[in-house]
Amino acid sequence: MHVAPGGDDAHSGLTPGAALRTIQAGLDRVQAGDTLLIRGGVYHERLTLNRSGTDERHRIVIRSYPGEVAVLDGTGVDVPRWTALLTLTGCHYVTVSDLEVRNSPQDGIQILRDATHIRAERLHVHDCGGSGLVMMGLGRPAYVYVRDGEYHDNEFCGVHAVSVLGGYVVIEGNRVHHNRGTANYDAIQSGIGDPGMGSHHVVIRNNDVYENRDVAAGGGDAIDLGGRNDHMTHYLVEGNRVWGSNGLVKFSRTTRYAIMRRNQITGGAFIDLYAPPYPQCSIIHNTLYQTYHGVEMGVGEIGGAVTPPLDINWGGLQIRNNIFAFGANYVLNIFSKGFNRNPDSIGLAGNLYRLAEGAPGRWYLDDWWSVSPEPGHVLTEALIEALFVNAAARDFTPASGSPAIDAAPPLTRTTADGEGKTVPVADARYFVDGWDGLFVADSIQIGANTPVRLAAVDYERNTLTLTQPLAWTAGDPVSLPWWGQAPDIGAVERRP
């Protein structure tokens, strides 16, 4: 199907010479397996798609003509409150790609009403009066992918999974910047302040998140998963690069099976955990450089005028193999003095840390952190210069001689000798198996073996099932694949 600025809606749309004039006329005609190609140009329309493909091989594809840019511009278009310029409602197996969506008086794009298997790829969504892209009312496993796009200068969120109660959302490879976060919306957000809204099995990966308006200036967080929803599970926040003005990188409420790893954070953002406990959760291999804090641990709604409880258990949360370099205040900022220091509350291992000159935490090195010592892991002055290849350019690869190189303890170890595909480990929480085909499973390294991909992770039995058989010895180190003698501390592994 074809749409062109010089087309005519009386045409068939079936050939370039018989192109339609409006995109909506094309959306009203597409069938499973069709591609709607839109010629370059500016279209002032409010669009709704409610048609579906039938499976992965018979998607409906809506996209710009190759090498051209179709622009959907909301200037002068009537877009009712809380709606969007482009709405996908109740559709399945639809790909929307390579479009520019701008100047919607409300949201740019909404994906609604139990839509599933949607791909929003290489979209450029900006200057909208609401959020860039919103998912709402998705009750089945959604398998929605928002990939490789740019979402900027929107009034609320860049990308927001408001209520995907069926779960399964991937937000990956996007640039999300200069969003204003008015009313405390976040650059990338899952869930919302209202109870009963949220999502599980959410992947926020390899996004560049920068210069979004922070809370103090009237905006929101950089990345925030949870909202005010208990028991949202399975979050993976990985490989994001966050810099400049931003709110926090956050798991908002009590959750299980949540991993924050290999993120590179500098500037306004730092890691925040809003309401304990966090059973089976981990903060691993992140690099934080010149942030306000390292990790801030709040106590949810408790606080303010209310006296904090005296024995807050963090549910076994693990904070391991991170670099906290030159934070302005504290490595761990803990809201409650009654923080539970027991091993079943929180585990710290393999972190490298140093506060900036004059940071208040420096004088007593974070009351709590100092009584859970990690000797040898406090950075010394002589090693500071060798920490990163080029921190100013945000290249956080360990520089030659960095104390991070080969210094990380393994994330876990095997608990018995064995061979085959099912490996018993002390703690399986650090690894992901792709969650029912949502994304590619981790490769892991066991001892000196070549890395092997995971087929399954059992968090309750603490077993890892491999795609290929191996042999191992009790106590072998198990981590994400590493170079050299051992994993490096921080987000980036240095190649020898």
- Residues lying near Ca ion in the complex (CB under 5 A): 186, 220-221, 224, 406, 482-484, 488
Q: Are 142 and 113 in contact (CB under 8 A)?
A: no
Q: Which residues contact 390 (CB under 8 A, 6 or more apart)?
A: none
Read out DSSP for 353-388?
Answer: EEEPTT-GGGGTTTHHHHTS--TT-B--HHHHTTSE
- CB of residue 285 to Ca ion, shortest distance in Å: 11
Which CB, 247 or 277, lies closer to Ca ion? 247
Which CB, 335 or 482, lies closer to Ca ion? 482
Which CB, 7 or 410, lies closer to Ca ion? 410
Which CB, 296 or 406, lies closer to Ca ion? 406
Read out DSSP for 227-286?
Answer: SS-TTEEEEEEES-EEESS---EEE-S-EEEEEEES-EEESS--EEE-SS--TT-EEES-
DSSP label of 414: B
- CB of residue 63 to Ca ion, shortest distance in Å: 32
Which CB, 226 or 327, lies closer to Ca ion? 226
- CB of residue 355 to Ca ion, shortest distance in Å: 25
CB-based burial, 401-436: b 16+ in 10 Å, e otherwise: ebbbbbbbbbbbbbbeebeebebbbebbbbbbbbbe
Exposure of 379 by Cβ count < 10 A (0-12 exposed, 13-18 middle, 19+ buried)?
buried
Which CB, 263 or 340, lies closer to Ca ion? 263
- CB of residue 488 to Ca ion, shortest distance in Å: 4
Which CB, 132 or 220, lies closer to Ca ion? 220
- CB of residue 482 to Ca ion, shortest distance in Å: 5
Name the token pair of 9. 């809606």
Q: Are 232 and 274 in contact (CB under 8 A)?
A: no
Q: Left, alpha or beta for 29 (phi > 0: left; psi -120 to 50: alpha)?
A: alpha
Which CB, 92 or 177, lies closer to Ca ion? 177
Distance (Å, whole) CA 274 – CA 301 = 9
- CB of residue 483 to Ca ion, shortest distance in Å: 5
Which CB, 156 or 168, lies closer to Ca ion? 156
DSSP 3-state assignment of 187? Answer: coil
- CB of residue 426 to Ca ion, shortest distance in Å: 21
**Residue 304, CA distances (Å) to 30, 338, 356, 419 in order:** 55, 15, 28, 54
- CB of residue 301 to Ca ion, shortest distance in Å: 14
- CB of residue 362 to Ca ion, shortest distance in Å: 29
- CB of residue 189 to Ca ion, shortest distance in Å: 6
DSSP 3-state assignment of 54? Answer: coil
Which amino acid is present at 136? M
Which CB, 224 or 476, lies closer to Ca ion? 224
Residue located via tokens 């490298």: 352
- CB of residue 187 to Ca ion, shortest distance in Å: 10
Which CB, 27 or 352, lies closer to Ca ion? 352
Element (H, E) at 27: helix 23-27
Closest to 494 measured CA to CA, from 388, 417, 368, 414: 388
Q: Are 404 and 352 in contact (CB under 8 A)?
A: yes
